Structure 1
């Protein structure tokens, strides 16, 4: 399968490169140095040149706090860029999978969020990602699917696991938010989920919204403790992790308190399972610590 990925240096694009190539697919990743997805003509030309069997949008404006003061760019990438890729895929009748986020929800309540629940993003990042989903819907029927996911980590780029390892190497005690809940999700597991979805989207067996994440929800505090437990296998010191509240750690953008996604619709697909995020965590930590 010939896969065209929009995004090149981000966690998911690199994971798609790894997992897709390992599965024998021909994966091409296009980053910002090649084109801006906010440029519809450039996107359309790239799709025509590539003639892919599958298009994946792994490109996104993900600086959650910066987006609060940079809304124009966030919407240009997350809304307009998504619309441009979806239109090029529709025009070429090419299966398209777009990756979205738990931040489209307000995060209230205590039950997992289903695909048909009312959205209510708390900040610009979530609003811009939701606008991208809506832009796809406005284009009309096509062979596409949206995979919402959460708390992404990998050995690549900036993410919570890398931050915890860096801070834990220097500090004997840390304070981490314990009243936000979600599903940690390894980028390589998301890549595998996309590759599982691809043939189903192509033949019309899957379309619309799907939620995907690690099998067991936790808090950022619990996630941090798991990171340090994993690092301890390499002889790294384990700092004391103190639980704090969201109010104790103010940020420019509000975070959902409940980001747990209900993944039943994804699990109904043939061959679908939810990964143990601790397995992915151990792999990521092993890679990061081996690299020094």
Structure 2
């Protein structure tokens, strides 16, 4: 029997995995921090053994990018040390680990889409702790395990940019949205589906990194404009520069990810960002 442990089950990707799991014959164990503290290695080891886990999908993360600047210890526990423990347990138990990482491991100064081999250089605590988690996983090196870097995640679950824009768009006549940060959104359901599709095909002796986001390129301003257009919300979206909206953590200006590797090796199709936004808004009842 294939027994899959999903951590961070109440987050965006975890929630989408729960929705999609109904279509699969696998035995899923969905856990959040209350059910299983992944920063407690002994607790995780016991859970894995008791439930004969064969694959771990780590969708848990400390994602409060700005808060992390003043909360480095907790960010490091979840994004780095917990991943280290999961990887070591996977190695010893001979089970697979699929870990979700981020575009924030890069500094955003590239001029072409980042490949998995490009040099990492995180700008802040969040990116640095996520990179430390990647490195710890690669050092432990459990077989049949991968890291998936993604960007700009949104969903009908949890807090995210799409939900914020829908709320503010209905409350205000106009909004200023950053136009000089470029990347691609990722519908969490698409990422969750990709994980479940590629999971049976993973065969590697060395931890391998892949990029995944939806197809296309846009700014946050473009994203907000399309959200309003699709939802038919009468709110004027005005472009602003990053310097007009200062935040504790520095965001990468350029977050485009090259997805050729994951598409070629696993023969998967990745949806265009507008098509996925349309699907998400329909799930939310916001597409008119």
- Specify the TM-score bucket, using the shorter chain as the normaliser: over 0.9
Report matched runs for 1:126-275 at 5 Å.
Answer: 126-201=127-202, 203-204=203-204, 207-232=207-232, 237-275=233-271
Count, aligned residues: 286
d(CA) in 1 for partners of 2:131, 2:207: 17
TM-score by length of 1: 0.94
What is the CA distance between 1:51 and its match in structure 2?
1.4
TM-score by length of 2: 0.95
Farther off after superposition, 253-262 or 45-54: 45-54
**8 Å CA contact retained: 2:177, 2:237:** yes
What is the CA distance between 1:141 and its match in structure 2?
4.8
1:289 counterpart SS class: coil
Write out per-residue CA displacement over residues 46-93 of structure 1, whole angstroms, 9 at most, x where no aligned residue. Answer: 111221232100000000000000000000000001111111111111
Distance 1:4 1:186, change over 3 A: same
Farther off after superposition, 92-101 or 66-75: 92-101
1:192 counterpart SS class: helix
Write out per-residue CA displacement over residues 200-246 of structure 1, whole angstroms, 9 at most, x where no aligned residue. Answer: 22x339950000111111110011111112212xxxx2211000111
**8 Å CA contact retained: 2:38, 2:82:** yes
**8 Å CA contact retained: 2:143, 2:206:** no
Distance 1:115 1:60, change over 3 A: same
Structure 2 unaligned segments of length 5 or more: list them: none
Write out per-residue CA displacement over residues 117-157 of structure 1, whole angstroms, 9 at most, x where no aligned residue. Answer: 11000000000000000001111352200000000000010
Q: State the Cα RMSD in Å.
A: 1.7
d(CA) in 1 for partners of 2:57, 2:37: 15
1:198 counterpart SS class: helix
1:242 counterpart SS class: strand
**8 Å CA contact retained: 2:105, 2:127:** yes
**8 Å CA contact retained: 1:97, 1:144:** yes
- The answer for the alignment partner of 1:64 in structure 2 is 65
